[in-house]
Amino acid sequence: MQIRPQQMETFSNVSQFSFEHRMEAHLRRCSPEECRKLGSDGLRETIRYGIERAKNYGIVLERDVCKYIDVMFAFGHEFDSDPELPWASGILTDESISDATNRTERLFETAKLHSWRPLV
């Protein structure tokens, strides 16, 4: 059996849609006020934005992308390039952390130390 590129793209789209739906439910539970302000369309757009930003750092596993988006919700859309948050870009671009999961975990744990509110 051979899977054609179009079929792979369909599988990928279904998988991303499923992740976006789960991520939306997660964020509505954890950040209800921010989600209300964004509205449904804005929330989905923000999730897609976070997925793309995470990919820039090689962060592609769902659990890791979820943590990246959690940090993004706590510190802002551009937290990874914010000069007020040098620890974030430092971790995300640290070449000594070759594994994306380890990098994401360090980012999340460091974000918890700097956050004024608990991160999930």
* Domains of the chain by residue range: 5-114
Q: Token pair of 4, please?
A: 């054609």
Those residues with Cβ within 8 angstroms of residue 92's Cβ, 6 or more apart along the chain or in another chain:
57, 80, 103, 107
DSSP 77: T
Q: Token pair of 116, please?
A: 């004024």
CB of 105 closer than 8 Å to CB of 67: yes
pLDDT of res. 4: 54
Which residue matches tokens 């539970």? Answer: 29
pLDDT of res. 1: 55
Q: What mean pLDDT do residues 6-20 have?
A: 61
pLDDT of res. 10: 42
Each residue of 36-78: pLDDT tens digit?
999 999 999 999 999 999 999 999 999 999 999 999 999 999 9
